[in-house]
Amino acid sequence: MLYLSTSAQDIHTAVELLQSGQQVALPTETVYGLAADASNPQAVRGIFEAKGRPADHPLIVHLATAEWMSLWASHVPEIAWRLAEVFWPGPLTLVLPVASTVTPLVTGGQPTVALRVPAHPVMQAVLKQLGKGLAAPSANPFGQISPTTAAHVRRHLQGRIAAVVDGGPCGVGIESTILDLSGERPTILRPGAITADMLKPYLQVVDKPAVDAPRVPGSLASHYAPRTPCFRIAPDFDHQPMPGQQIGVLAMSPPSWPIAHFWQMPAEPEAYAQALYAMLHEADSAGCDALFIVLPPQTPAWLAVLDRVNRATREFS
């Protein structure tokens, strides 16, 4: 795996690798994405192979500008253009009816496609030089902790992909909000930094997907998980859960019972989200017998964080 910087020469190298059908990990404002030319079926297939990702699990296509939506969607409603004007570039993905020219490898065989214009300058530079959309799920083995630094990518995908561009830590730290605009009722299919309250001035959204809603990334019950057994507990949990075991805890304040390792989490939802995956990667490498995450507040501001914590953990009983 080549380790590339953000220099103009290295960005050009990344573009050449993508043009040749290879996979390159690129920084976005959310997490590092495993990018490939979304119009090249063989290149897209390489994403699934590198990640060990199920073939029916759709990918998000990253675009340089909102105008590219018309190349990927068969119909772009007026509200999509309005939301793009307000929230793009940024951590909002829109699900739209797919154009007939899009490979079903990208959509998981569904009649919809997920589109986003990322804000990270490195991803933007690559997209503009390449002149094509990039399919780019998180650059990690399927179901494991998403990467928010180039070091995370190197640790888990070494030997599986062509290169990673080191653009520093990701600023948002969790995956984008996914908003379905393909049906009659706009629906948040995955919570993220763009919240329902932020969308309300422009449309009324449903935050509980219907049974027949499009499949989207990050929707499985178990996802974003460390290799170390990881459990969630309530803030009032007051006893040693596994006596005699090496326990690590991620929480806003240390527990009252003995632990081997403690990672202090921020008290604000945006800062917590930005730190979550990095802390999980560190905790997963600490040699603990088990990890415990003390649940953050159960309020709307914490919805995206709670979603990731719940999927990364099991309830302790």
Band of the pLDDT at 208, cuts 50, 70, 90? confident
Compute the mean pLDDT over every residue in the chain, rounded to the nearest whole number: 96
The answer to whether residue 141 scores a pLDDT higher than 90 is yes
What is the reported pLDDT for 313? Answer: 97
The answer to whether residue 220 scores a pLDDT higher than 80 is no
CA-based torsion, 43, 47, 53, 58: positive or negative: negative
- Counting other chains too, the contacts that 69-77 makes at CB distance below 8 Å and 24 or more residues apart are 69/94, 69/96, 69/115, 71/99, 71/101, 71/133, 72/96, 72/98, 72/99, 72/102, 72/113, 72/115, 72/133, 73/97, 73/98, 73/99, 73/113, 73/115, 74/98, 74/99, 74/100, 77/181
Strands (E) across the chain are located at 2-4, 24-26, 33-37, 60-62, 92-97, 112-116, 134-135, 163-165, 177-180, 187-190, 230-233, 247-251, 261-264, 290-294, 314-315
For the segment 95-104, the average pLDDT, to the nearest whole number, is 98
For the segment 159-188, the average pLDDT, to the nearest whole number, is 97
Could you say which of 3.40.50.720, 3.30.530.80, 3.40.50.11030, 3.30.470.20 is the CATH number of the domain covering 230-315? 3.40.50.11030
The answer to whether residue 100 scores a pLDDT higher than 80 is yes
For the segment 216-239, the average pLDDT, to the nearest whole number, is 90
Could you say which of 3.30.450.20, 3.90.870.10, 3.40.50.850, 1.10.3720.10 is the CATH number of the domain covering 2-199? 3.90.870.10
Residue list for the binding site for ATP: 53, 112, 138, 146, 190, 224
Domain boundaries, the chain: 2-199, 230-315
User: Tokens in use for 15?
Assistant: 């573009």
Band of the pLDDT at 157, cuts 50, 70, 90? very high
Could you identify the residue written with the tokens 């309250």? Answer: 197
Band of the pLDDT at 115, cuts 50, 70, 90? very high
Residue list for the binding site for L-threonine: 30, 62, 116, 136, 176
User: Tokens in use for 302?
Assistant: 């914490």
What is the reported pLDDT for 252? Answer: 98
For the segment 30-43, the average pLDDT, to the nearest whole number, is 98
Band of the pLDDT at 209, cuts 50, 70, 90? confident
Q: What percent of the chain has pLDDT over 90?
A: 93
- The H or E element spanning position 46 is helix 41-51
Residue list for the binding site: 30, 53, 62, 112, 116, 136, 138, 146, 176, 190, 224
Band of the pLDDT at 281, cuts 50, 70, 90? very high
